[in-house]
Amino acid sequence: MSVARPRPLSGFPEFLPSQRAAEQRVVDSLRETFELHGYASLATRSVEPLDELLRKGETSNEVYVLRRLHAEGGDADSGVGLHFDLTVPLARYVRENAGRLQFPFRRYEISRCWRGERPQEGRYREFTQADVDVIGENELPADADAEVTVVMAEALSRLPLPPVELRVSNRRLVEGFYRGVGIADPAAVMASIDKLDKAGEAAVREMLGALGLDPAQTEQCLALARVRGSDAGFADEVLALGVRDPLLDAGLSDLTAALEAAAPASSERFAVVADLKIARGLDYYTGIVFEGFTAAHGTMSVCAGGRYDALASDGRTTYPGVGVSLGVTRLLAPLIGRGLLDTDRAVPSCVLVALPDEDARPACREIARQLRARGIATELAPRPDRYGRQLRYADRRGIPYVWFPGQPDQVKDIRSGDQTPADAMSWSPPAADLRPRLVTQEPS
């Protein structure tokens, strides 16, 4: 099995153990917040039939289809592909299990997704998403819009990650406004407005002209897209544009209510702002839409979502939903890759039990067992080397404590050098030392 050193696969990020511990701490924290809000965990299968995956059309060329390597002839494709998001599996799962679910159905899923894209900074072929959604049966109160916003705000506010600005708009507001200025095809205009951040206003002005908007309509659309604010004042700005339409009024009222309900969850780490240029390219959004950004990730959003009045339907029953999807890999991998996010240990161990000599191994094993029984992650030194070497073993792995068996036992904090007598039946480290700590640096 003598072979050359393998190289990483582009678009399939992997971490070293201390980095993986950081990813896991983040995922555990997200999960804890989601569960505190009553969201149930789902782990949908990784594959869907191709007709489920291709329902949205536009993403079809990103799908990885599974083929059995040694399947015969025409039977090669399995007819299934890897999911590229967690919304398609959710819609299918709800239709498949509707009779056995309780609505409103709150679920989170933190799972891997795959896209056969050309990899580049922030785009991966394999990546983890963390989604929260609330699904109703035929109806879903407007209150759910604010709820998912608050859940994501709390989840991200607890973590020492770059501050997120969640920009919020409402499709009904925007559609109503477009209708009010006499635009026939609001979807095409929204698709152009969605390009504002990347293409700039001049380019979008041309696009809107090419769609047949007259200059006054174009300027109104651009003016709406400029509206931004962290409180209800944005509504006055919209009204000041002088457009009137019942759908606009309804959307404005929904968005104002969602912003008000989400306001208490705003923090230094997570700001919720109305930003009416947020359109989200996807057809199925029908109400509130969000997109979250961090300064560290430029113009690429780290979370996104919105309301869809028909996530799924079985003909008789329609399942409206609202949700937010956080790009865990997109958020973390660049930080980890640049050394801005890590943990202080390569192992979960809090204590290394030193081994004075080979005969002491059973007694040392018993010390380790006693510490573990009280929730303290412990490993045993592999060999009865001299103590200086055993201390270096701990140091290289970031293990904070070394335990020396004796009469009495002693425990040394290798960071401070402090050494004190200790009993494995009662000694505990400070709570912050029990698990690896997240270590962050500001981007320079």
Nearer to a second copy, 337 or 382 (CB): 382
Number of residues binding to a second copy, judged by CB under 8 A: 93
Q: In angstroms, give the least distance from the CB of 152 to a second copy.
A: 15
Q: How far apart are CA 201 and CA 252, in angstroms?
A: 24
| From 239-247, 307-315, 331-339, 401-409, span contacting a second copy (CB under 8 A) | 307-315
Q: CA distances (Å), 195 to each of 31, 419, 444, in order?
A: 33, 61, 29
For 332, the enclosing helix (H) or strand (E) is helix 328-337
| From 172-180, 185-193, 230-238, 308-316, span contacting a second copy (CB under 8 A) | 308-316
Among 29, 46, 157, 410, contact with a second copy (rule: CB under 8 A): 46
Concatenating the DSSP letter of every residue in 122-165 gives: TB-SEEEEEEEEEE-BSB--THHHHHHHHHHHHHHHTS-S--EE
Among 26, 83, 88, 92, contact with a second copy (rule: CB under 8 A): 92
Q: In angstroms, give the least distance from the CB of 130 to a second copy.
A: 14
Q: Which amino acid is at 326?
A: L
- Per CB under 8 A, 407 contacts a second copy: no
Q: How far apart are CA 322 and CA 224, in angstroms?
A: 24
- Per CB under 8 A, 68 contacts a second copy: yes
Nearest CA to 239 among 280, 291, 180? 180
- Per CB under 8 A, 283 contacts a second copy: no
- Per CB under 8 A, 313 contacts a second copy: yes
- Per CB under 8 A, 349 contacts a second copy: yes
Among 179, 195, 228, 372, contact with a second copy (rule: CB under 8 A): 372
Among 30, 63, 153, 235, contact with a second copy (rule: CB under 8 A): 63
- The owner of tokens 């900074």 is 121
Residues 4-43 that bind a second copy (CB under 8 A): 4-9, 12-17, 20-21, 23-24, 35-43
Nearer to a second copy, 177 or 270 (CB): 270
Q: How far apart are CA 324 and CA 305, in angstroms?
A: 4
Please give the structure tokens belonging to residue 152: 């994501």
Nearer to a second copy, 262 or 324 (CB): 262
Q: In angstroms, give the least distance from the CB of 353 to a second copy.
A: 10
| Residues facing residue 370 across a β-bridge | none
| Exposure on the CB side of residue 367, measured as CA atoms within 13 A | 27
Nearer to a second copy, 42 or 189 (CB): 42
- Per CB under 8 A, 388 contacts a second copy: no
- Per CB under 8 A, 425 contacts a second copy: no
| From 95-103, 198-206, 223-231, 234-242, span contacting a second copy (CB under 8 A) | 95-103
Quick check: 279 and 287 in contact, CB under 8 A?
A: no
Residues 155-214 that bind a second copy (CB under 8 A): none
List, in sequence order, every beta strand (DSSP E) within 189-294: 228-229, 270-275, 288-294
Q: In angstroms, give the least distance from the CB of 30 to a second copy.
A: 13
Residues 105-144 that bind a second copy (CB under 8 A): 106-107, 112, 114, 116, 126, 141, 143
Q: How far apart are CA 438 and CA 235, in angstroms?
A: 41
Q: In angstroms, give the least distance from the CB of 293 to a second copy.
A: 26
- CB-count exposure of residue 86 (10 Å: 0-12, 13-18, 19+): buried
Nearer to a second copy, 156 or 213 (CB): 156
Q: At what angle do helices 328-337 and 17-36 cross, to 10 degrees?
A: 150
Nearer to a second copy, 222 or 384 (CB): 384
